[in-house]
Structure 1
Amino acid sequence: MILPISKNAMLLAAVALVCVAILGFINQLTQPKIAEQKLANKLAILNDVLPQNSATESLLADCILVTSEQLLGRPTPQAIYRLRDGDKISAFVVETTAPDGYSGNIDLMVAVTPAGTVLGSRVLNHQETPGLGDKIERRRSAWIDSFQAKQVSPDNQAAWAVRKDGGQFDQFTGATITPRAVVTAVYNAGLLILQQPGLANRPANCGASQ
């Protein structure tokens, strides 16, 4: 005779198995939709920093992983997408991080020509103070557009600073640390492209890491 406690345990186990099966089924149904949405979001951001409608799925595939904690802000690899015009690279789109934001890391995407001209930039993720540091977001202000068409070179680093530090970019009232960190990160992304001309010829290797 099976004791009541054993019956209850078996019933709970059966319910748990059914729940796991249902969750697995739902996950199978929703996973393609999630992947599709993730792809659409990535392409939308790429199109924000590149000339209009340049970003396609082929751009996502032409991606390399690069590690440079000094210039890209993380000890782990960051993705760089390569926009091609025929057999030439017309732009690199660099995923980079400002590690010295007021509230921590600020993740960005920066499009740069091989000659070091910034085409566009967007903030991907941050934890900066609402109403102050969050003005780095395009939906909050147009400040992030101030990098567009600016030239990066090893000789003009002093100009890549906020006005308070003698540079050409505005800071925010009551918040200097955040824009200072972003300016440096955008400059460093351009500098990486200038310092590593071999990036154009590396085999694509982002794969599932994108």
Structure 2
Amino acid sequence: MEMLTAIRNSALGLSIFAVITSGAIALTQVSTKSQIEINEREARAKALYQIIPKESIDNNLLEDTVEISDPALTASNQPVEAFRGRRNGQVVTVIIPVTAPDGYTGNINMIVGINADESVAGVRVLAHKETPGLGDKVELKKSRWLLSFDGQRYEGDDDPTWAVKKDGGRFDQFTGATITPRAVVNATARAIHYFREHKTALLETRSDLNATAAGAE
């Protein structure tokens, strides 16, 4: 009888331990996920304000958004937020998220700032898995290559110069790595194309937030 009681107590103790351990693991996972999301938001905010400095606009860039959805932009049907910078109530720059699915080692998640006159305000890479020392030059801290987009204009599909120099274009490729910069150049072109197609909605001057731009037709 005593042995049976001991076995029961041992089983109960193990069950309680398992429940506590599972709960602790779950809490840790939730906490880790929350911290990752916080880090991603902070990194995105930093990149957004690199493209549109706070002192150059008079609205809250992080709150003035428009929801967009186009698989050609993000390789997903999920809607994303574009961010709008204003001066004197007028939208002067829109920052559009775009994914380059054809990076050397997978997706390259980017944001592309486009001015109202359709010139490029800036390009930043938010996440990638490109080869260290080669493709990772898409990071501003590793190379100033991304700055070569500033002020550039894309004339459309018939613009042969919107390509890396190896393909007859105006943008440098990286030594030993052409696939990565080519993917970024092409993704930037897609963002500009989307901007042109939905310019009226994206430059809507109403102050209400989260207006919706039409998806690709």
Shift of the 110–173 alpha-carbon distance from structure 1 to 2, 3 Å rule, reads same
Q: 1:166 aligns with which of 165, 168, 186?
A: 168
Instruction: Name whichever of 38-47 and 80-89 sits farther off.
Output: 38-47
Q: 1:10 aligns with which of 3, 9, 12?
A: 12
Alpha-carbon offset, residue 53 of structure 1: 4.6
Please give the per-residue CA displacement for 1:112-152, whole angstroms capped at 9, x wherever unaligned: 11221111111111111122111111111111110011113
Counterpart residue identity of residue 87, structure 1: G
Give me the whole-angstrom Cα distance separating, in 2, the residues matched to 1:127 and 1:32: 22
Give me the whole-angstrom Cα distance separating, in 1, the residues matched to 2:191 and 2:175: 26
Counterpart residue identity of residue 131, structure 1: G
Give me the whole-angstrom Cα distance separating, in 2, the residues matched to 1:93 and 1:142: 20
Alpha-carbon offset, residue 205 of structure 1: 6.5
Matched, 1:152 2:154: yes
Q: 1:112 aligns with which of 108, 111, 114?
A: 114
SS of equivalent to 2:147: helix
8 Å CA contact 2:74–2:97 kept in 1: the answer is no
Q: 1:204 aligns with which of 179, 190, 210?
A: 210
Please give the per-residue CA displacement for 1:85-120, whole angstroms capped at 9, x wherever unaligned: 232111111111111111121111111112211111
Give me the whole-angstrom Cα distance separating, in 2, the residues matched to 1:33 and 1:136: 25
Counterpart residue identity of residue 70, structure 2: S
Give me the whole-angstrom Cα distance separating, in 2, the residues matched to 1:127 and 1:112: 25
Structure 1: which 5+ residue stretches go unaligned?
A: none
8 Å CA contact 2:96–2:112 kept in 1: the answer is yes
Structure 2: which 5+ residue stretches go unaligned?
A: 213-217
TM-score normalized by the length of structure 1: 0.81
Shift of the 121–42 alpha-carbon distance from structure 1 to 2, 3 Å rule, reads same
TM-score normalized by the length of structure 2: 0.79
Shift of the 125–19 alpha-carbon distance from structure 1 to 2, 3 Å rule, reads same
SS of equivalent to 1:61: coil
Shift of the 43–55 alpha-carbon distance from structure 1 to 2, 3 Å rule, reads farther
* 1:51-130 superposed matches below 5 A: 51-53=53-55, 58-70=60-72, 72-76=73-77, 77-130=79-132
8 Å CA contact 1:101–1:128 kept in 2: the answer is yes
Shift of the 134–35 alpha-carbon distance from structure 1 to 2, 3 Å rule, reads closer
SS of equivalent to 2:172: coil
8 Å CA contact 1:114–1:193 kept in 2: the answer is no
Alpha-carbon offset, residue 192 of structure 1: 1.1
Residues paired across the two proteins, number: 205
Instruction: Name whichever of 80-89 and 49-58 sits farther off.
Output: 49-58
- Cα RMSD of the aligned pairs, angstroms, is 3.2
Please give the per-residue CA displacement for 1:169-188, whole angstroms capped at 9, x wherever unaligned: 01112211111110111121
Identity of aligned residues (%): 35
Counterpart residue identity of residue 125, structure 2: V
